[in-house]
Amino acid sequence: MYHEVTYAELKRRRNKRILLAVVIVAILAALTMAVFVMRASAREQGVLSTREAIMSAAKQCCAVEGSYPSTVKHLEEHYGLVINHDDYVISYEWFADNVMPSVVVTAR
């Protein structure tokens, strides 16, 4: 038996396809936003972890040598500090042997 497709049936099918396309686009947009948020969070966490590692190594240096190091390079050479200089810019300001240095880490 032949079933003729009516105009209402065609319209309903078209509306379902449009709705499906809208839902797919919305899901892809939400996933894209989630990826960007996770990247930003990971970058921020990396900055905080790098600063904490520098401060910890500086405190260890002060405990061992009796003074804070004048450069980050000293910490990298003698205390095993590893910094990815391609991803982070480090501002290390040393004032005196007995004053904790000021450390600012920013992502590139």
As a whole number, mean pLDDT of residues 75-103 equals 92
Q: Does position 1 have pLDDT exceeding 90, yes or no?
A: no
Task: With beta carbons less than 8 A apart as the criterion, state whether 106 and 89 touch.
Answer: yes
57: buried, middle or exposed (CB in 10 Å: 19+, 13-18, 0-12)? buried
- What integer pLDDT is reported at residue 3 of this predicted model? 76
- What integer pLDDT is reported at residue 67 of this predicted model? 92
Query: Considering the chain, what is the average pLDDT of its residues?
Result: 93
- What integer pLDDT is reported at residue 5 of this predicted model? 79
Task: With beta carbons less than 8 A apart as the criterion, state whether 75 and 69 touch.
Answer: yes
pTM over cut 0.85: no
Task: With beta carbons less than 8 A apart as the criterion, state whether 48 and 103 touch.
Answer: no
As a whole number, mean pLDDT of residues 11-25 equals 96
Separation of alpha carbons 27 and 62, rounded Å:
52
As a whole number, mean pLDDT of residues 15-35 equals 97
Q: Does position 4 have pLDDT exceeding 90, yes or no?
A: no
- What integer pLDDT is reported at residue 86 of this predicted model? 92
